[in-house]
Amino acid sequence: MSSRDHNLTIILKFKYMKISLTPLFIVIACLFSINNQAQNSVTPADLEPLLGEWTGSLTYVDYSSNKPYTMPANLTVSQGKSEHQVSLMYTYPNEPKANSKGKIKISDQGKKLNNEMIVSREVLPDGSVQVTTSYKGKDNNKEAMIKGVYVLGKAICVIRKEVKYDNSENWLKRNEYTFER
């Protein structure tokens, strides 16, 4: 075999390998994409640890003074109308007239929480799950990106709203419920 034939054989083998490896790389890329999408979804099992009684506080930034205010708050979480929903009953020991209801609802495919697109889901070292949602909306009559952060665990429950106004680079913590048991 001449040197030219040998070189041609090597080139053909390389081209064949390149062509045959392309589908492998496509499959690997798809698997990473599927895995990433699965990580950004929530299941009813993520809500189960919340059921029961919680004690904690609500901290919010007052719109008029722009200063944080913290008050005691309690939370009762019960099963909602389906496995994809839990009902929230907020009670405020010092301000019972402010008591309110809420819910956490997962879309059927688990891609949305309370109709907000889930942008991340992370299992924390203590086993709780942190879910972050994001949507475009208004806060204090200003256009903003609004982020919801939910920490769902057996011993801790955090529900936080963060806001970034269109003309700003900084996120403002608008309010945060922090509960423990």
Provide block-wise average pLDDT over 10 residues at a time, the chain (181 residues): 57 53 45 48 94 97 88 97 96 95 95 95 95 94 95 96 93 96 95
CATH number at residue 86: 2.40.128.20
Taking a C-beta distance cutoff of 8 angstroms, is the pair 71, 57 a contact?
A: yes
Residue-level pLDDT at 39: 65
- Environment class of residue 156 by beta-carbon count within 10 Å: exposed (0-12), middle (13-18) or buried (19+)? middle
Give dist(CA 23, CA 160) in Å, integer. 43
Taking a C-beta distance cutoff of 8 angstroms, is the pair 122, 150 a contact?
A: no
21 assigned to some structural domain: no
Residue-level pLDDT at 26: 45
Count the helix, strand and coil residues of the chain and give each as a percent rounded to the nearest 5. Answer: 25, 50, 25
14 assigned to some structural domain: no
Domain of residue 131 covers 44-180
